[in-house]
Amino acid sequence: MMLGKNAGGLFWMFRYLERAENIARLLEAGWYIALTHAKDDGSNEWESILITAGMNAAFLEKYESYDAHSVINFLLRERSNPSSVMSAIEAARSNARMVRTALSGEVWEAVNECWMELKAILARPVTERNLHETLTLVRNRTSVVRGALHGTMLRNDIYAFARLGTFIERADNTARILDVKYYVLLPSASFVGSSMDNVQWEVVLRSVSAERSYHWLNGGDVTPQGIGEFLILDKRVPRSLAFCYLKIGQYLDLLEEEYGVRQDSQVLAHSVCARLDKATVETIFDEGLHEFLSALIADTGSLAHQLETDFRFYG
């Protein structure tokens, strides 16, 4: 038995941690492109990163052009931006404080230290010189929280809600990254591989920290089909949509086992799992990648909403 409020707090704590991590990865990818490619390609990349992060409109309210310094600081430390890394970490810690009785001491300390260190380093503007160090810190600190969760928490409902938050946020993030690149790159499914493409797809792979594993699986052959298979359907890839939904289904099954009730959210999650199981990369591209991703983003949103209701997060 646990409080509905705590279930919601855990869910959001881990959504926000995942979000902070994803934004750090996106920035890392954008920065890599800006450094390694000609100005004309690179400067545009910031816009697509802001679109992927869902922050382009908010950015344009504050700034007129996409210079590296403004984008980096907007994504990392802008207080008025509720999804900046600092805001997300603050929100994660605030949720952790609220649900502290549900967390092991080690998880709480890990998230509290994460917050303290990032607060200190993000108190001043991030320059190009310390960007890498800052992004590494975000990844390391959030990894410590995850490690403490794996190593010290009971595998019960508390754990399930934490993991559901992680995978819902991750599925949403992966779908958005693909969807943004779809517009840039795939006016038609038959369009395959110019050199500019490859730059763009590399951003995609880097922003999910998967360039090494992709190349290992595909032997250096970068195609839209290969990337689609990898990020949508391959259950070995921890950031693919199929993997995220596999986990979401499993944790909802665990809750069913614990509570003895099959909830609407579980039915919805398993219907998405079934859709992903049936699909091939060819059918997805034929029927429209954008349509497929839009439907999945919408389903993920509905699922999050249904979890709220099924498990009484707010009353």
Partner 1 sequence: MGHTDTQFDEMLAGLDQARPPYEGYYDWFCGEDLKGLRRKSAEAEAFFRRIGITFNVYGQEEADERLIPFDIVPRIISAREWAKLERGIEQRVRAINAFLHDIYHRQEILRAGRIPQHIIAGNDAFLPQMIGVNPPGGVYTHIVGVDLVRTGEDEFFVLEDNARTPSGVSYMLENRETMVQMFPELFTQLNVRPVSSYPQLLRRSLSDCAPQNSPNGKPVVAVLTPGIHNSAYFEHAFLADRMGAELVEAHDLRIEDGRVAMRTTQGYQPIDVIYRRVDDDYLDPLTFNPESLLGVPGIMDVYRAGNVTLANAPGTGIADDKALYSYMPDIIEFYTGEKAILPNVPTWRCSEPDALAYVLEHLPELVVKEVHGSGGYGMLVGPVASKKEIAAFEKKLRAKPSNYIAQPTLSLSTVPILTKAGLAPRHVDLRPFVLVSPNRIDMTPGGLTRVALKKGSLVVNSSQGGGTKDTWVLGD
What are the residues binding partner 1 (CB under 8 A)? 1-5, 7, 94, 97-98, 100-101, 108-109, 112-113, 116, 157, 259, 261, 311-312, 315
- Cβ of 179: how many Cβ atoms within 10 Å? 18
User: How many whole angstroms separate alpha carbon 207 and alpha carbon 27?
Assistant: 8
> H-helix or E-strand containing 217?
helix 211-218
CB 140 → partner 1: shortest distance, Å? 16
Compare residues 44 and 112 and give the one whose CB is closer to partner 1. 112
CB of 24 to partner 1, least distance (A): 22
Is the CB of 53 or the CB of 86 nearer to partner 1?
86
In this structure, the number of other CB atoms found within 10 A of the CB of residue 227 comes to 20
Nearest distance, CB of residue 1 and partner 1, angstroms: 5
Tokens 């038995």: give the residue.
1
**Would you state the structure tokens that stand for residue 237, as one six-digit string?**
């890839």
Give the Cα separation of 119 and 113 in Å (integer).
10
Any residues with CB less than 8 A from the CB of 88 and at least 6 apart, and which? 16, 17, 19, 20, 23
| Environment class of 127 (CB within 10 Å of its CB; exposed 0-12, middle 13-18, buried 19+) | exposed
Quote the longest CA-to-CA distance of the chain: 58
Nearer to partner 1, 36 or 309 (CB): 309
CB of 204 to partner 1, least distance (A): 37
Contact 230, 132 (CB under 8 A): no
* Between 154 and 261, CB nearer to partner 1: 261
Distance, CA of 203 to CA of 90 (rounded, Å):
27
Would you say how long the chain is, in residues?
315
Place of tokens 């969760």: 149
Nearer to partner 1 by Cβ, of 38 and 261: the residue is: 261
Q: Output the smallest distance, CB 259 to partner 1, in A.
A: 5
Nearer to partner 1, 98 or 295 (CB): 98
Q: Is 115 helix (H, G, I), strand (E, B) or coil?
A: helix
- Least spacing, CB of residue 250 vs partner 1, in Å: 18
Least distance between partner 1 and beta carbon 69 (Å): 25
Contact 142/208 with Cβ under 8 angstroms? no
Whichever of 216 and 259 has its CB closer to partner 1, that residue is 259
Minimum distance of partner 1 from residue 101's CB (angstroms): 5
Tokens of residue 93, six digits: 């810690």
Q: Is the CB of 157 or the CB of 229 nearer to partner 1?
A: 157
